[in-house]
Structure 1
Amino acid sequence: MAAPVTARMALFPLYAFNIEVARAPWVTQEPMIAEMRLQWWRDALEEIGAGSGIRRHDVVTPLSHRLTPDGAALLDKLVEARRWDVWKEPFEDEAQFRGYLDMTSATLLRVGAGMLRANLPEAVAADAGFALGLSNWLRAVPELEASGRYPLPDGRPEAVQALAREGLERIDRARRARGSVDRAAAPLLFGVAEAQAVLKQAVRAPGAVVSGALAVAPFRERLSLAKAAITGRW
């Protein structure tokens, strides 16, 4: 809602899609049913990419109005990455973990920029996407562990701090390249300030990740969004 009205027409269906895909593995205890739910979305994206046979659906239909075939292919990779959520095996290594964050977070920025017809350099999408994805992931760690998942390839406090510091460094790097980002793409990055606040907490107190104490005050969150919406600076 902090985005301009014209941008919302693209971002609402994109983020609604993301919510539906993200929740698909969690609405059932049966892995095969979760796999079927994810496959339904992959089939819908295939239809959008082909430009024919698009199913009538509250999310799929408006998404198809703005999503390009290339964007549909990228979102298909996002859905594929979400298959990790269905099962309870740990990440094979840190490379797989990083790939998961990139596919489920940075991909939204890449696709969103395409739907907004705005330039967002790949380096900025990758850096901001890593920071946004990591901050959300760290906040989800307690629930993931409670469900029997192994959310971090290395859960030691010093490893968590190192990841959070990297996220902060990548936010700084993305902001240094702010001049290369179209103003129309700025709403995709309005969450960076909140991610920065969460990652700073994780650096100061890595134990807060496991205890579920990472949080941003609602007033501060609204204030940062309002500032970003008014100035366009993230």
Structure 2
Amino acid sequence: MSADAPGEGGDYVTDLVRQHDRDRYLSTLFAPEDKRPALFALYAFNVEVSRVREIVSEPLPGEMRLQYWRDLLHGDAMAFSGHPVAEALARAIARYNWPRKALLDLIEARTFDLYDDPMPSVADLEGYAGETSSALMRLASLALADGADPGGSDAVGHAGVAYALAGILRALPWAVGRGQVFLPVDLMNRHGLTRESLLARQVGEPLRAVLADVRALARSHMDAARRAAESAPPAVRMAMTPAALVEPYLAASERAASDPFRMAVDISPLRRIWTLWRASRQAR
């Protein structure tokens, strides 16, 4: 199977997304077939940079891995690097006029993941989500519009933030287990939740209040995304497909409120597929 062709096996780029980013993998299967190689390349790049913390034991090797991607994006050798994700990404950049700055900003945002510093504020969290999740939706919309600018930056901006916030809620036990605090410090201070009690997995009213506020923030962004998407072209709405899972994930988070460290914040595989399929049909 070629590096461009999506499929269940044999293709490194596609399989990387299938194994580590199931939501975006499934949403891509519902996209137009000729756009799937670029979308898989984009999401595989995201997997490569977002998983650096999992692969390294210290920040310095992680910084070196991120610098590798910065160097590739700053240079002209991506298409000949020998790295299947870099080569697929280079083809997508050339074909769909993707701005490399957006990819470089995504790498810069992911530097936060390498350290145990807490997220300072809600504004910082929204910025982080915008440069990662929203940026992916924006670049996807460019590919789905054949490289033209389809507009809709407000729609994908809000949708990306909402999707990232839902992801942070889902990943709470995993992130806390490795010493990371994505919950904003200003929000934690408002409700009397300390970093120490969070890392100790103490479940009480302060934690529940913070998580409820994050869910409310995600729903606020999702409402804004829906309003903006009403006048957006199909390419933008298709790029937003993963955000269809935001509300099901938030509902799952509410069900797990009694013990968010032990109860899974997830939905069934069948519901995930059906939700993404319905959203992709409505986007056309």
Specify if TM > 0.5. Answer: yes
User: Gaps (5+ residues) in structure 1?
Assistant: none
2:94 is equivalent to residue 80 of structure 1 = no
Match of 2:33 in 1: 5
Change (3 A) 1:94 1:42: same
Deviation of 1:213 after TM superposition, in Å, equals: 2.2
What are the equivalent positions in structure 2 for 1:167-182 lying under 5 Å apart?
A: 167-182=218-233
Residue 85 of structure 1 aligns to a residue whose secondary structure is helix
Q: Partners in 2 of 1:23 and 1:148 — Cα distance? A: 15
Instruction: Kindly state the Cα deviation for residue 84 of structure 1 after the two structures are TM-superposed.
Output: 1.1
Greater shift after overlay, 24-33 or 117-126? 117-126
Give distance in 1, aligned partners of 2:77 and 2:114. Answer: 28
Name the counterpart of 1:220: 271
Equivalents in 1 of 2:77, 2:256: separation in Å?
51
Aligned residue-pair number: 229
Which residue of structure 1 aligns with residue 18 of structure 2?
A: none
The reply to whether residue 57 of structure 1 matches residue 83 of structure 2 is: yes
Alpha carbons of structure 1 residues 186 and 203: separation in structure 2 relative to 1, 3 Å: same
Q: CA deviation at 1:183?
A: 1.1
Is 1:112 the counterpart of 2:140 in the alignment? yes
Q: Cα distance 1:73–1:80, how it changes in 2: closer, same or farther (>3 A)? A: same
Deviation at 1:74, TM superposition (A): 0.8
> Structure 1 residues 223, 113: closer, same or farther in 2, change over 3 A?
same
Aligned equivalents of 2:116 and 2:130: distance in 1?
Answer: 20
Distance 2:281 2:68 in 1: 39
Cα distance between partner residues in 2 of 1:32 and 1:105: 24
1:148 aligns with 2:144: no
C-alpha separation in 1, matches of 2:71 and 2:263: 36
Q: Aligned pair 1:135/2:166, yes or no?
A: yes
Q: Which residue number in structure 1 is paired with residue 213 of structure 2?
A: 162
By how many angstroms is 1:70 displaced?
5.8
Q: Deviation at 1:96?
A: 1.9
| Match 1:35 to one of 39, 63, 72 | 63
Match of 2:50 in 1: 22
**Greater displacement, 171-180 / 23-32:** 171-180
Output the CA distance in 2 between the equivalents of 1:53 and 1:201.
44
Q: State the Cα distance separating 1:180 from its structure 2 match.
A: 2.6
**2: CA distance between counterparts of 1:40 and 1:199?**
36
Q: CA RMSD in A?
A: 2.0
| Deviation of the 1:106 alpha carbon | 0.7
Q: Of residues 118, 121, 127 in structure 1, which corresponds to 2:152? A: 121
Following superposition, the deviation at residue 58 of structure 1 comes to: 0.6
Task: Report the structure number with the largest CA radius of gyration.
Answer: 2
Matched residues in 2 for 1:167 and 1:142: separation? 19
Q: Deviations over 1:180-225 (max 9, x none)?
A: 3221233321112211111233346534543342111111111112
Q: Is the 8 A contact 1:105 1:129 kept in 2?
A: yes
C-alpha distance in structure 2 between counterparts of 1:92 and 1:231, whole Å: 37
Which position in structure 1 is the counterpart of 2:9?
none
Give the distance between the partners of 1:95 and 1:230, measured in 2 at CA: 33
Contact 1:25 1:35 in 2 (8 A): no
- Structure 1 residues 208 and 193 mapped into 2: Cα distance closer, same or farther (>3 Å)? farther
* Residue in structure 2 matching 1:197, options 223, 237, 248: 248
Percent identity over paired residues? 31
2:123 aligned with 1:95, yes or no? yes
- Counterpart CA distance in 2 for 1:124 and 1:78 is 19
Describe the superposition over 1:73-99 as per-residue Cα deviations: whole angstroms up to 9, x where unpaired. Answer: 111111111111111111223322222
TM-score, normalised to structure 1's length? Answer: 0.89
The letter of the residue matching 1:231 is Q
